[in-house]
Amino acid sequence: MRNLVIALIFLCLVLTGTTIYFARELAHERALTTAQATHAAHSEPASQWPRAAAPAPAGKPPRHERTPPDVNAKPVKAEAASSAATTANEEAEAAQLRFATAFLAQAADLKGREDLVAERRMHMRHSFPALERVVGLSATEHARLLTLLSEQQIEAETAHSRCVVDPACNSRQWHASTQTRQQDIAALLGPDRAQKFDQYKNTLGERETVTQMRARLPDSQRLSEVNAEGLVAALAEERTALTSQPNSDYFGFGVGSGMLFAPSQGTPDSQYEAARQYSQRLRDRAGPYLNSEQLRLFNEMQDEQLLAFRNMLRNKHGQYSAVTNSN
């Protein structure tokens, strides 16, 4: 039960962070765009900009004139950059405050809260595919579980928003407010199905991989439920074996069709090679559950993941030459 409580707390934090993250990033992006425009306007003194030249006399090439620089002008680049960064941060914080205030108002309103629950239920349904089948829920139990999870998430978001509005609040206070929902979930599922639900949540990344693969398979190559569950379990075992190693320090990378893992430290080449080896282990583990055509598609998805990972490393390190010789 303790593990289930911890898992659900983690789940709520992730879902809460997703909602608030997108609102904050949208506001930050707008503020950053404004700040960059301001910085660009001040990064070069106006006296250095080329002026439009008057039409040149016939038979002579046009001239491009520049006004001589003002030798007494003071440098403004550092000041402008600092001011732009401050403005961007202030606008992002203001946007987050507006979002938190609006969320609290909606959560406190009866109809507004009903709308929030309906919206979260929709997200939960899409985020937890085949939940009722894997855990063993009736239609009524499935609907009840989605509602309880949605209410638990809203309570976590409410506590977080209160701390945004009032920074002096206790950021851990929501743990107590979600305890009742957790007890309701435990009572609904019972010990056996609670364990299945915990295992289900631990394999969401692998389930996304299998879901994406099944969507790309033609009807003639349909993957059975038995083999799909076996593949999910095998992929999850590889991920757990890697990330649970003593003193392991890995980061995950995904583009919507699975995850690759690589050491957080090291050169781009060594990180790519580690991800390639991890990908190969996934391919090997997938073999027993897939026929030749299904395995061909799985390998194709892994190749796409590796390509995206390699491009990410190049962009991150600013080196086109990095990992160019890896396949």
Question: Residue 23 falls within a domain, yes or no?
Answer: yes
* Burial of 317 per CB tally in 10 Å (0-12, 13-18, 19+): middle
Beta bridge partners of 250: 263
- Token pair belonging to 255: 């583009």
Question: Residue 72 falls within a domain, yes or no?
Answer: no
* 119 and 170 housed in the same domain: yes
Question: Residue 164 falls within a domain, yes or no?
Answer: yes
* 196 and 209 housed in the same domain: no
- Token pair belonging to 130: 């085949």
Provide the residue range defining the domain that includes 95. 2-39+79-202
For position 60, what pLDDT does the model report? 41
Cβ atoms of 259 and 239 closer than 8 Å: yes
In the three-class reduction of DSSP (H, G, I as helix; E, B as strand; rest coil), residue 261 is classed as strand
Q: Alpha-carbon distance 306 to 299, whole Å? A: 10
Q: Alpha-carbon distance 281 to 278, whole Å? A: 5
Q: Alpha-carbon distance 248 to 241, whole Å? A: 10
* 213 and 194 housed in the same domain: no
Question: Residue 101 falls within a domain, yes or no?
Answer: yes
Q: Alpha-carbon distance 183 to 186, whole Å? A: 5
Q: Alpha-carbon distance 267 to 270, whole Å? A: 5
For position 32, what pLDDT does the model report? 42
Measure CA 79 to chain center. 34
For position 292, what pLDDT does the model report? 96
* 176 and 231 housed in the same domain: no
Of 220, 228, 142, 122, nearest to 185 (Cα)?
142
* 177 and 311 housed in the same domain: no
Question: Residue 326 falls within a domain, yes or no?
Answer: no
Indicate the pTM of the whole model.
Answer: 0.64
Q: Alpha-carbon distance 190 to 230, whole Å? A: 24
For position 241, what pLDDT does the model report? 93
Q: Alpha-carbon distance 6 to 188, whole Å? A: 18
| Domain end (from 171, 202, 233) | 202
Q: Quick one: DSSP state of residue 221?
A: G
Residue located via tokens 């033609």: 218
**Helix/strand/coil (H, E, C) string of 138-183?**
CHHHHHHHHHHHHHHHHHHHHHHHHHHHCCCCCCCCHHHHCHHHHH
* 157 and 214 housed in the same domain: no
For position 87, what pLDDT does the model report? 83
> Dihedrals φ, ψ of 261, to 5°?
-125, 145
Contacts of 216 (CB under 8 A, 6+ apart): 297, 301
Question: Residue 61 falls within a domain, yes or no?
Answer: no
* 218 and 111 housed in the same domain: no
pLDDT in tens, the chain (327 residues): 444 444 444 444 444 444 444 444 444 444 444 434 333 333 333 333 333 333 333 444 444 444 444 545 555 566 666 777 788 888 888 998 999 999 999 999 999 999 999 999 999 998 898 999 999 999 999 999 999 999 989 988 998 899 899 988 876 666 666 778 888 999 999 999 999 999 999 999 999 999 999 999 999 999 999 999 999 999 999 999 998 888 878 999 988 778 999 999 999 999 999 999 999 999 999 999 999 999 999 999 999 999 999 999 999 887 655 565 545
Cβ atoms of 238 and 281 closer than 8 Å: yes
* 97 and 180 housed in the same domain: yes
* 170 and 257 housed in the same domain: no
* 106 and 25 housed in the same domain: yes
Question: Residue 45 falls within a domain, yes or no?
Answer: no
Query: What's the structural domain count of the chain?
Result: 2
